[in-house]
Amino acid sequence: MTATHPEKLLSPVLSATWGEEKPWTLATYRAHDGYKGLHEALRMNPDDVIALVKDAGLRGRGGAGFPTGMKWQFIPQGDGKPHYLVVNADESEPGTCKDIPLLFANPHSLIEGMIIASWAIRCSHAFIYLRGETVPVLRRLHAAVAEAYEAGYLGRDVLGSGFDLDITVHAGAGAYICGEETALLDSLEGRRGQPRLRPPFPAVAGLYACPTVVNNVESIASVPAILHKGKDWFRTLGSEKSPGFTLYSLSGHVTNPGQYEAPLGVTLRQLLDISGGVREGHTLKFWTPGGSSTPMFTDKHLDVALDYEGVGAAGSMLGTKALQVFDETTCVVRAVTRWTQFYAHESCGKCTPCREGTYWLVQLLRRIEAGEGVPGDLEKLNDIADNINGKSFCALGDGAASPIFSSLQYFRDEYEQHLRERGCPFDPAASTVWAGTRGRRNPAGKARSTEDDPPGDRGPDGRNGDFDPSENGVLA
């Protein structure tokens, strides 16, 4: 049931030091038990580290929720090939904003986790693939990695263990699709970021066709605390199948958007209760549990436990725990149209259902939003989405279909209203942060539906930007 006190509901671990003096520095990190987990790990046999993480029940925080320890265990040992760890820091799934603030405030938690993971899977060269559009984070990663080398946590003979490890920080160049783990690997190999056929999975043939673990930032950053405090402690948080703590990112029409770190399984109602709720004078209309690729929810889902099983049972996915909240001023058709434009822009062009399907979805949605829809459009919308979903090469296509299906499921009336009234019944000015504030004019006559800037051109080269359903995850 709902916890009354935020102090009891929340459980800052990754975010625990963010309020300290320069929490991004090694000195502050070490002053708060930083690198103790690493010392613990280096005292253990690598296989035991894998077993520990597996027993703790840590699951991927990038969206798919695959057990982290199991991913590590899939790496064949004694195969004579180099092994690689690649951290997916290409956070770009719409609504997702957890890894970037985490890395900005506490990059050493990732680096420590990477060293532990590398020890476990016998990797001597690890990579951080950071999306390029976040230079402030890149700056701090550069500094943190340099500090870690200086302190002997990286380089030759890490802390006298006989184990060598290098970390390369690699900045991407704008492509959501690179959050898909195999597209990320292609990108890291200096190619266009397009997904690979699986199998073989990265654990067998990943980076440079060698065994590779690809993990999300938050997954890896959660590892040091497990080593330091133990799996039993980790399991005291969250639920049986979804143990541990995680960052919930609240955004949109809420009083206090932000990062709320809590045990898995809290509900949106609880988070809204403690944080001031939906913005004053408004009511919840729809929300995403884990980014735009996860089917949307409504006010009927306020009490869904936000863990992998709970959200799945309610018909969506936990995804990246990106809780984007929209109030009653928001037009669902507008929201879905914009997300669909995003998927069309970011479709890598490799497979036909996604490349063509997302394009036609945009054409239809724009028409409907502008009041020019015709009878049969909604059925066609559903049909196209159905031809993308499950029939695309990677999860970007599934992600593109999610908002269509779920919005038609919950808000079909609103689509029909657009058709019937030949236009959008909503005033976009009412949805803005500054709506209703004194002295601020809302420029009149903003033909919003026509100003929808096209989401970039799909050049003949079929290029597209960054995708990251898997940032993570929905794909990974």
For residue 68 the two structure tokens come to 């982290």
Residue with smaller CB distance to another protein, 89 or 203: 89
249: which strand partners? Answer: 259, 322
Site for another protein in 250-269 (CB under 8 A): 250-253, 255-262, 268-269
Residue with smaller CB distance to another protein, 191 or 412: 191
Q: How far is the CB of 190 from another protein (least distance, A)?
A: 3
Q: How far is the CB of 164 from another protein (least distance, A)?
A: 14
- Out of 110, 205, 278, 404, the residue judged to bind another protein by CB under 8 A: 278
For residue 41 the two structure tokens come to 């790990």
Over the Cα atoms of the chain, what is R_g? 22
Site for another protein in 426-445 (CB under 8 A): 428-429, 431-434, 440, 442-443
Question: Which range touches another protein (CB under 8 A), out of 67-75, 197-205, 228-236, 454-462?
Answer: 454-462
- Out of 80, 162, 281, 375, the residue judged to bind another protein by CB under 8 A: 281
Residue with smaller CB distance to another protein, 279 or 387: 279
Select from 454, 472, 475 the least CA-distant residue to 102: 472
Please provide residue 391's backbone torsions phi and psi, each rounded to the nearest 5 degrees. -115, 5
Q: How far is the CB of 133 from another protein (least distance, A)?
A: 5
Q: How far is the CB of 329 from another protein (least distance, A)?
A: 8
Residue with smaller CB distance to another protein, 80 or 190: 190
4 binds another protein per the rule CB under 8 A: yes
Residue with smaller CB distance to another protein, 105 or 220: 105
For the chain, give the secondary structure using H, E and C.
CCCCCHHHHCCCCCCCCCCCCCCCCHHHHHHCCCCHHHHHHHCCCHHHHHHHHHHHCCECCCCCCCEHHHHHHCCCCCCCCCCEEEEEECCCCCCCCCHHHHHHHCHHHHHHHHHHHHHHHCCCEEEEEECCCCHHHHHHHHHHHHHHHHCCCCECCHHHCCCCEEEEEEECCCCEHHHCHHHHHHHHCCCCCCCCCCCCCHHHHCHHHCCEEEEEHHHHHCHHHHHHHCHHHHHCCECCCCECEEEEEEEECECCCEEEEEECCCCHHHHHHHHCCECCCCCEEEEECCCCCCCCEEHHHCCCCCCHHHHHHCCCCCCCCEEEEEECCCCHHHHHHHHHHHHHHHCCCCCHHHHHHHHHHHHHHHHHHCCCCCCCHHHHHHHHHHHHCCCCCCHHHHHHHHHHHHHHHHHHHHHHHHHHCCCCCCCHHHHCCCCCCCCCCCCCCCCHHHHCCCCCCCCCCCCCCECCCECCECCC
For residue 446 the two structure tokens come to 């903003």
Site for another protein in 130-169 (CB under 8 A): 131-136, 138-140, 142-143, 146, 168-169
Enter the DSSP assignment of 113: H
| Separation between Cα atoms, residue 105 and residue 26, nearest integer Å | 12
Say how many residues touch another protein, by CB under 8 A: 125
Site for another protein in 165-224 (CB under 8 A): 168-176, 187-193, 208
- On the 0-12 / 13-18 / 19+ scale of CB atoms within 10 A, 191 is exposed
CA dihedral (14, 116, 91, 19) in degrees, to 10, reads: 20
Residue with smaller CB distance to another protein, 22 or 39: 22
Q: How far is the CB of 275 from another protein (least distance, A)?
A: 6
Residue with smaller CB distance to another protein, 6 or 67: 6
231 binds another protein per the rule CB under 8 A: no
Question: Which range touches another protein (CB under 8 A), out of 56-64, 154-162, 408-416, 447-455?
Answer: 447-455
From residue 96 to residue 125, what is the string marking binding to another protein with x (rule CB under 8 A)? xx-xxx--xx-------------------x
Residue with smaller CB distance to another protein, 67 or 349: 349
22 binds another protein per the rule CB under 8 A: yes
458 binds another protein per the rule CB under 8 A: no
Residue with smaller CB distance to another protein, 72 or 342: 342
409 binds another protein per the rule CB under 8 A: no
Q: How far is the CB of 9 from another protein (least distance, A)?
A: 8
Residue with smaller CB distance to another protein, 234 or 326: 326
Residue with smaller CB distance to another protein, 55 or 133: 133
- Out of 292, 293, 294, 392, the residue judged to bind another protein by CB under 8 A: 292
From residue 64 to residue 83, what is the string marking binding to another protein with x (rule CB under 8 A)? ------------------x-
335 binds another protein per the rule CB under 8 A: yes
11 binds another protein per the rule CB under 8 A: yes
Residue type, 442: N
Question: Which range touches another protein (CB under 8 A), out of 150-158, 356-364, 416-424, 462-470?
Answer: 462-470
Site for another protein in 299-328 (CB under 8 A): 299, 302, 322, 324, 326
